[in-house]
């Protein structure tokens, strides 16, 4: 390719972004764009896969057949989301085996939220309500992300996440109509998951190295702080209706801003969890690594089968 060709290709790429159209796998794109989209999609895919563990922990102890069926379906959906996302990353030339290797050797990140333990069945409801709620807030704008395969994957993922959010809220509503012990379990789970849910949106804008560039490229549509505020505004009335107290004494409506004010987030905790020092980081990675090793025979069998099919 000549230098002139590259200038033209770059202009075409920039015009596509400026006109809010999609970049597709065969289009020319700058290396920085490709690497940023691979990084974000890979982190997102890993989050869906690791995110199966905290709730998966309760499948064998679900309180009824109905709750067990719902939970199995939800956890299975997360596996599906991971697979669409790994496929989207592959359209950019990433290799799925390499991405998995980077996850199990801690060279690529996954969402901080999944490094917290699930202590009671109320946690299943709170994960649906708060964690899926935060995920939806963050991911609905990604349906307009500039990378076509990612944006299209997000449409289906968001529909399923909305269902997950509602099942969590319904579970909590049921528990809140139950015994005082069940109500206390919901409050306790809310107390433990509220702040980590706010951290899911990533570091504050002034400490987010990727936001400006990702927004310039239309990969992200809003900043981390904008989406965090949107989540708080959406969730406070839901907490009131549910009858739980969000664990933040500074949480109050600010009429001037037209938003809820909230207290300071413990960013030291966030960075420690991202670095690998959260309560369950090593357990989550170890579990994923073991599952990968246990699945080696399936991969080998699939390859042998594919070879035979070609030879036939
Ligand atoms: N945890 O410069 P920024 C789900 C990293 S899916 C860990 O702001 P960016 C479904 C970040 O990668 C949840 N690391 O980065 C479900 C970057 O690292 P690097 C996942 C985090 O990319 C529900 C560094 O910090 N969702 O929940 C976190 O512009 C229930 C600097 O940050 C997505 O992945 C974090 N919370 O913005 C499953 C959505 N935040 O590589 C099961 C797509 C930031 O530079 C049950 N991703 N980091 O070293 C995004 O929207 C963005 O990537 C952000 C981060 C907003 C997460």
pLDDT, tens digit, 9 for 90 and up, residues 302-312: 999 999 999 98
The atom number, within ligand 1, closest to the CA of 108 reads: 41
224 lines ligand 1 (CB under 6 A): yes
Euclidean distance between the first and the last CA atom of the chain, given in angstroms as a whole number: 40
The encoded tokens of residue 20 equal 């809010």
Closest Cα to atom 52 of ligand 1: 40
pLDDT at residue 3, as a whole number: 78
User: What gap in Å lies between CA 181 and CA 227, rounded to an integer?
Assistant: 34
In this prediction, residue 2 carries a pLDDT of 81
Q: Which pairs from 180-183 meet CB under 8 Å and 24+ separation?
A: 182/122, 183/243
Q: For ligand 1, is residue 202 a contact (CB within 6 Å)?
A: yes
Q: What are 265-304's pLDDT values in tens digits?
A: 999 999 999 999 999 999 999 999 999 999 999 999 999 9
Q: Compute the mean pLDDT over every residue in the chain, rounded to the nearest whole number.
A: 97
Q: How far is the centre of ligand 1, averaged over its atoms, from the C-alpha of 202 (Å)? A: 6
What is the number of the ligand 1 atom nearest to the C-alpha of 209?
2
Q: Whose CA is nearest to atom 44 of ligand 1?
A: 202
Contacts 24+ apart (CB under 8 A), 201-205: 201/134, 201/137, 201/138, 201/225, 201/227, 201/228, 201/231, 203/267, 203/270, 203/271, 204/265, 204/267
CA of 270 to the centre of ligand 1 (A): 12
């Amino acid at each position: 390719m000549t230098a002139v060709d590259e200038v033209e290709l770059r202009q075409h790429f920039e015009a596509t972004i400026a006109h809010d159209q999609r970049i597709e796998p065969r289009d020319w794109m700058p290396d920085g764009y490709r690497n940023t989209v691979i990084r974000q999609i890979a982190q997102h895919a890993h989050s869906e896969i690791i995110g199966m563990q905290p709730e998966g922990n309760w499948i064998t102890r679900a309180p009824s057949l109905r709750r067990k069926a719902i939970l199995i379906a939800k956890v299975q959906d997360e596996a599906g989301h991971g697979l669409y996302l790994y496929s989207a990353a592959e359209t950019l030339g990433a290799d799925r085996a390499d991405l998995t290797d980077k996850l199990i050797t801690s060279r690529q990140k996954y969402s901080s939220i999944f490094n917290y333990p699930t202590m009671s069945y109320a946690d299943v409801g709170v994960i649906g309500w708060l964690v899926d709620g935060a995920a939806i807030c963050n991911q609905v704008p990604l349906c307009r992300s500039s990378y076509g395969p990612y944006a299209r994957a997000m449409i289906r993922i968001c529909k399923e996440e909305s269902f997950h959010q509602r099942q969590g809220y319904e579970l909590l509503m049921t528990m809140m109509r139950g015994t005082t012990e069940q109500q206390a379990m919901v409050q306790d789970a809310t107390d433990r998951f509220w702040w980590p849910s706010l951290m899911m949106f990533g570091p504050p804008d002034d400490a987010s190295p990727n936001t400006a560039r990702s927004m310039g490229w239309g990969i992200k549509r809003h900043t981390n702080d904008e989406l965090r505020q949107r989540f708080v505004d959406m969730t406070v009335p839901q907490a009131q209706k549910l009858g739980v107290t969000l664990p933040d004494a500074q949480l109050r409506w600010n009429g001037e801003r037209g938003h809820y004010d909230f207290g300071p987030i413990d960013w030291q905790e966030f960075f420690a969890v991202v670095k690998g020092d959260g309560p369950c980081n090593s357990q989550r990675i170890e579990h994923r690594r073991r599952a990968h090793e246990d699945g080696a025979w399936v991969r080998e069998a699939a390859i042998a089968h594919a070879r035979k099919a070609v030879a036939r």
